[in-house]
Every structure is written in structure tokens, then in C-alpha cells.
Amino acid sequence: MTNPSYQDRGLLIVVSGPSGVGKGTVCGMLRKRNPNLIYSVSATTRSPRQGEQHGVNYFFHTKDEFFSMMEQGELIEWAEYVGNYYGTPRQFVEDKLNAGEDVILEIEVQGAKQVKELFPEGIFIFLLPPSMDELKRRIMGRGTETVSAIQRRLHVASSECKELSMYDYAVINDRLEHACEKIESILVAEHCHTSRVIIED
């Protein structure tokens, strides 16, 4: 019997959840606390919010550029959301996983469904708000959207929560640090899965 070891290939971790639940904030803190974690940067056609930087928060593209990426199979998922498009560049993700690095995707619920088809072995984490009232407060508190946009978001958020059963884990985002710690624990645990251990006879 050879000595035991863990598999080299990295984990693909998908962090999703309803609009307004705080995916960006949670993933931002995860990134700070875990510099070795590869944080996939999405492509999007939406306008940058204040403080957002191209290549850091998102790759900001025109719709024409985005459609061309889609057609050439350069995105492992894409979604249209409230009039804007979001997507994840494929090559980047594959390269990092093959190099043994864990990659986190922070994506919308529609996109997560597509990733699940291409990467069924991914770890799917759904962020939940501590309450629906709190979700409403968070969406409104952003202050960047019209009342009708907020109402559309709330409606979408409520139906998105019904996709929960597709996910492996649900993390209630009650406090930012708690949510981060839970996701960190999930990563450690997933690396210990029996299927990732190699013992040869």
C-alpha cells in the first residue's frame, strides 16, 4: 500500500444566491482572507458602480464584444439580468483548476445552472439572506436603482431562492465574517472528501 495523499486538481467553487444577498461583499472578504484562492473575474455589459474597476471587480464590455465571446465558446456561463449580460471566461478557470488552484465563481443563479452542467463536480454554495425583510433593506440600501428596478429584483430574488435544491450548501449571510468562515470550512471539508484521496495498493 502506498502512502495516502490528496488529489492535485483544484476545486471549482460557485457562490451564488439571490440578487442583493451580498455575494460581492462576501466574496470580497473571502479574497482578502484567502490570498491563494483564485477569484474568477466575470465579464459584464453593465455599467461600473462607484469604485468598481475593470479587471478587478468585472471585465466591462460592450454588448457586441460580449456576444462575440459567447459565440466563440469563451464563456462557461452567461446570463441576462435586468437588461445586462454577465459571463465567466472559460480558459482562465480551466487553467487554474489544472494547476491545482481553487477557483471561486461569484455568479447569478441563472449562470450557476449552466456551470453545473459543465462542471457537475463543482461545489455549489447558495447564499441566503437572514430574512426576506433584510434582503429588501439590502437591495433598497444600495440606493443606485429605481423603485421599479428594486421591485423587479425582489420578485426575481424570491423565485431564485426556489433553486436552492440544486446546490450542495446553503450559507445564511447573517454576519459577513460568519458567512466567510462557513465557506472556508466548506472548502477545507471538500478537500478531505474520500473521492479526493489517493491510496494505491
Footprint of a second copy on this chain (CB under 8 A)? Answer: 1, 3-6, 125-126, 128-132, 158, 161, 164-165, 167-172, 181-182, 184-186, 188-190, 192-194, 196-197, 199
- From the CB of 56, what's the least distance to a second copy, in Å? 28
Q: Is 18 annotated as a binding residue?
A: yes
The SS3 assignment for 135 reads helix
Residues shown for the chain? 201
- From the CB of 107, what's the least distance to a second copy, in Å? 17
In the bound state with a second copy, the residue whose beta carbon lies nearer, of 149 and 189, is 189
Using CA atoms, how far residue 48 sits from 59, 62, 144, 200, in Å, is: 10, 12, 11, 51
- From the CB of 150, what's the least distance to a second copy, in Å? 17
d(CA 78, CA 91) in angstroms, rounded, equals 15
Q: How many CB atoms lie within 10 A of CB 68?
A: 12
- From the CB of 10, what's the least distance to a second copy, in Å? 17
d(CA 114, CA 178) in angstroms, rounded, equals 28
Using CA atoms, how far residue 6 sits from 163, 192, 195, in Å, is: 32, 8, 9
Q: Is 17 annotated as a binding residue?
A: yes
Q: How does strand 42-44 pair with strand 58-60?
A: parallel
In the bound state with a second copy, the residue whose beta carbon lies nearer, of 48 and 130, is 130
In the bound state with a second copy, the residue whose beta carbon lies nearer, of 146 and 195, is 195
Which residue positions form the known binding site for ATP? 17-24
Which residue positions form the known binding site? 17-24
